[in-house]
C-alpha cells in the first residue's frame, strides 16, 4: 500500500532554502571518494568544552532532581549566574527573574523572537549579508523583510541614513550581530548609541545577536549592546554558550534585556519546551561563574589561527582584510568569479570548503567566508592548495 503524501503547511513552504546543504553534500561526496577535504566552510567549533564544565555536568547528572522536569523558565541559580556574568563582564545590571530568559540555543531564540513580536506583513530590518536564520524566523512569522546592506566602506555596519523613511516607520524589529557573521566586522560604542537613538525615534525593538561576544582580537573586547545607555528600553541581546565556551552541542544560551520581550520569549517557550536538562543548566552556571581563563585561551587560539591564515593567504598574493573579531574571515573573490563559482572551484580543484558569500544575502556576493575552526596546519595546507591553482 502506498502512503498518503500529506502537503506541507503554507508556513513551511515560506521557509528559505538551506543554501549550504548543497555545498555540504558536495564535500561529503568528495570525502566518500577518498579525497582529503579541508572544511573551512562551517561555523562549528572544533575544540572541546573545557574540562571543568564537563566535570560539572558529570557531577550533576546523577542527581535525581535533574531527572525530573526542570522549571519551565529555567533554574533561578542559572539566571542569577547570567546576571552576575553581565555585571562582571559588561557592568550591566539585570534582574534575573524578569530580564533573563534561558534558551535551548541562541538559534532557537533568534527564530522564535519573530513569532513573539511580529504579525503577518509586519516589517523587520535584517542585515545583508547576515545569519540565514534571521530570515527563517521572519518567514515563519509571515513578516516582511527590509534589508540593511553591510558594506566594506562602512566597516560592515548598516548605514541608517540610507534606510527609507517608509521602512523605518513600518519596522517593528531589527536584527544586529557584532562581532559579525559572516563579515567579521565589529561594532563601536558610537554605533550602538546611534542604534538606540534610532530605535527610540521609530519604536523599533532591537535584537543584538552577541554570539561571538568573547572573540575580539588585538586587545579589543567587543562591546555589549546593553552597555549602551537606554539599550534595555528598546531591545534584547542573545548570548550563546556555543562559541565562548565550546558548548555548541549542549544547546544552551540566554536572552537578556527588555522585560516585555523577555516575558514574550518565556511565554512562547512555555508552550514549546519544558526548559533544559538541569545538569546542563548547572554546567552552564559553572562556566559563567568560574574561571574565564579557558575563554581567554580560546580567543588567543583564534587570534593565532587568524594570523597564520592571513599571512599564508597574503604570501600567495590574495589581498585579504584581517578580521577584528568572530572566528571567521570575509575574503574578496578574485575576478572573474562569482562567490559560488569560486567556492566550487576551491572545492573541486583544491578540496577546500569555503562558504560562498551570496548564501548570506545579495550583498555577500563577491566574498567567501572562511572559518578559523581548524588547526593551524590545516589552514596553512589550505593556502598551499589554493596557491597551486595560480589564481593570484
Point out the domain boundary residue: 257, 289, 321: 289
Which are the contacts of 200, defined by CB distance < 8 A and separation ≥ 6?
230, 233, 234
In 169-180, which positions are buried (b, 16+ CB within 10 angstroms) versus exposed (e)?
ebbbbbbbbbbb
Residues 38 and 78 in one domain: no
Residue 9 in domain? no
Residue 320 in domain? yes
Per-residue tens of pLDDT for the chain, all 392 residues? 778 899 999 999 999 887 777 777 888 888 888 889 999 998 889 999 999 999 999 999 999 999 999 999 999 999 999 999 999 999 999 999 999 999 999 999 999 999 999 999 999 999 999 999 999 999 999 999 999 999 999 999 999 999 999 999 999 999 999 999 999 999 999 999 999 999 999 999 999 999 999 999 999 999 999 999 999 999 999 999 999 999 999 999 999 999 999 999 999 999 999 989 999 999 999 999 999 999 999 999 999 999 999 999 999 999 999 999 999 999 999 999 999 999 999 999 999 999 999 999 999 999 999 999 999 999 999 999 999 999 99
Point out the domain boundary residue: 234, 255, 289: 289
Q: How many structural domains compose the chain?
A: 2
pLDDT confidence of residue 194: 98
Domain of residue 311 covers: 16-45+294-387
Beta-ladder partners of 146: 125
Point out the domain boundary residue: 259, 289, 319: 289
Q: Which three cell numbers stand for residue 237?
A: 541581546
pLDDT confidence of residue 366: 97
| In contact, 320 and 310? CB cutoff 8 Å | yes
Residues 166 and 284 in one domain: yes
| In contact, 192 and 225? CB cutoff 8 Å | yes
Residues 126 and 186 in one domain: yes
Q: Which three cell numbers stand for residue 225?
A: 549592546
Residues 176 and 106 in one domain: yes
In angstroms, the CA 381 to CA 38 distance is: 8
Residues 28 and 171 in one domain: no
DSSP state, 323?
P
Residues 211 and 342 in one domain: no
pLDDT confidence of residue 295: 97
| In contact, 316 and 331? CB cutoff 8 Å | no
Smallest CA-to-CA distance from 335 within 349, 351, 352, 319 is with 319
pLDDT confidence of residue 30: 84
pLDDT confidence of residue 28: 87
DSSP state, 348?
I
Residue 362 in domain? yes
pLDDT confidence of residue 43: 87
Residue 206 in domain? yes
Strand locations in 163-252 (E): 171-177, 205-209, 235-240
Residues 59 and 106 in one domain: yes
Residues 192 and 285 in one domain: yes
In angstroms, the CA 117 to CA 206 distance is: 11
pLDDT confidence of residue 385: 97
pTM: 0.96
Residue 252 in domain? yes
Helix axes 278-289, 51-60, angle to 10 degrees: 140
159: how many CB neighbours lie within 10 A of its CB? 12
194 SS3 class: helix
Residues 164 and 300 in one domain: no
Q: What is the CA radius of gyration of the chain?
A: 21
Q: Which three cell numbers stand for residue 248?
A: 555548541
Residue 283 in domain? yes
Residues 175 and 264 in one domain: yes
> Domain holding 349: CATH number?
3.90.1150.10
pLDDT confidence of residue 35: 86
pLDDT confidence of residue 112: 96
CA 52 to each of CA 249, 285, 342: distance values in angstroms, whole numbers, following the listed order: 16, 11, 42
Residue 192 in domain? yes
pLDDT confidence of residue 96: 98
> Domain holding 96: CATH number?
3.40.640.10
Residues 365 and 283 in one domain: no
Residues 177 and 112 in one domain: yes
pLDDT confidence of residue 42: 85
Residue 84 in domain? yes
Amino acid at each position: 500500500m502506498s502512503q498518503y503524501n500529506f502537503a506541507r503547511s503554507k508556513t513551511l513552504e515560506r521557509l528559505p532554502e538551506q543554501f549550504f546543504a548543497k555545498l555540504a553534500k558536495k564535500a561529503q561526496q568528495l570525502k566518500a571518494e577518498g579525497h582529503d577535504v579541508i572544511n573551512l566552510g562551517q561555523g562549528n567549533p572544533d575544540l572541546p568544552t573545557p574540562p571543568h564544565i564537563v566535570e560539572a555536568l558529570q557531577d550533576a547528572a546523577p542527581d535525581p532532581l535533574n531527572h525530573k522536569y526542570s522549571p519551565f523558565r529555567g533554574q533561578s541559580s542559572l539566571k542569577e549566574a547570567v546576571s552576575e556574568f553581565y555585571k562582571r563582564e559588561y557592568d550591566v545590571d539585570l534582574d534575573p527573574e524578569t530580564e533573563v530568559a534561558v534558551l535551548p540555543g541562541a538559534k532557537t531564540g533568534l527564530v522564535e523572537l519573530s513569532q513573539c513580536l511580529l504579525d503577518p506583513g509586519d516589517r523587520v530590518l535584517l542585515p545583508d549579508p547576515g545569519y540565514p536564520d534571521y530570515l527563517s524566523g521572519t518567514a515563519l512569522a509571515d513578516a516582511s523583510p527590509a534589508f540593511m546592506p553591510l558594506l566594506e566602506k562602512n566597516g560592515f555596519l548598516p548605514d541608517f541614513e540610507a534606510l527609507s523613511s517608509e521602512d523605518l516607520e513600518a519596522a517593528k524589529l531589527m536584527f544586529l550581530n557584532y562581532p559579525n557573521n559572516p563579515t567579521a566586522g565589529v561594532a563601536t560604542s558610537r554605533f550602538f548609541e546611534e542604534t538606540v537613538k534610532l530605535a527610540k525615534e521609530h519604536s523599533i525593538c532591537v535584537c543584538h545577536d552577541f554570539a561571538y561576544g568573547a572573540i575580539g582580537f588585538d586587545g579589543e573586547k567587543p562591546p555589549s549592546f546593553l552597555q549602551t545607555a537606554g539599550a534595555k528600553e528598546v531591545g534584547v541581546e542573545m548570548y550563546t554558550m556555543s562559541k565562548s565556551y565550546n558548548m555548541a552541542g549542549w544547546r544552551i544560551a540566554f536572552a537578556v534585556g527588555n522585560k516585555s520581550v523577555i516575558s514574550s520569549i518565556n511565554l512562547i517557550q512555555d508552550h514549546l519546551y519544558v526548559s533544559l536538562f538541569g545538569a546542563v543548566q548547572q554546567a552552564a552556571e559553572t562556566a559563567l561563574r568560574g574561571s574565564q581563563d579557558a575563554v581567554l585561551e580560546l580567543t588567543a587560539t583564534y587570534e593565532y589561527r587568524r594570523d597564520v591564515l592571513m599571512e599564508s593567504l597574503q604570501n600567495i598574493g590574495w589581498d585579504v582584510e584581517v578580521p577584528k573579531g568572530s572566528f571567521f574571515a570575509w575574503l574578496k573573490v578574485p575576478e572573474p568569479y562569482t562567490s559560488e563559482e569560486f567556492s566550487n572551484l576551491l572545492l573541486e580543484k583544491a578540496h577546500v570548503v569555503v562558504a560562498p558569500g551570496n548564501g548570506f544575502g545579495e550583498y555577500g556576493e563577491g566574498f567567501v567566508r572562511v572559518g578559523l575552526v581548524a588547526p593551524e596546519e590545516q589552514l596553512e595546507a589550505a593556502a598551499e592548495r589554493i596557491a597551486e591553482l595560480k589564481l593570484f
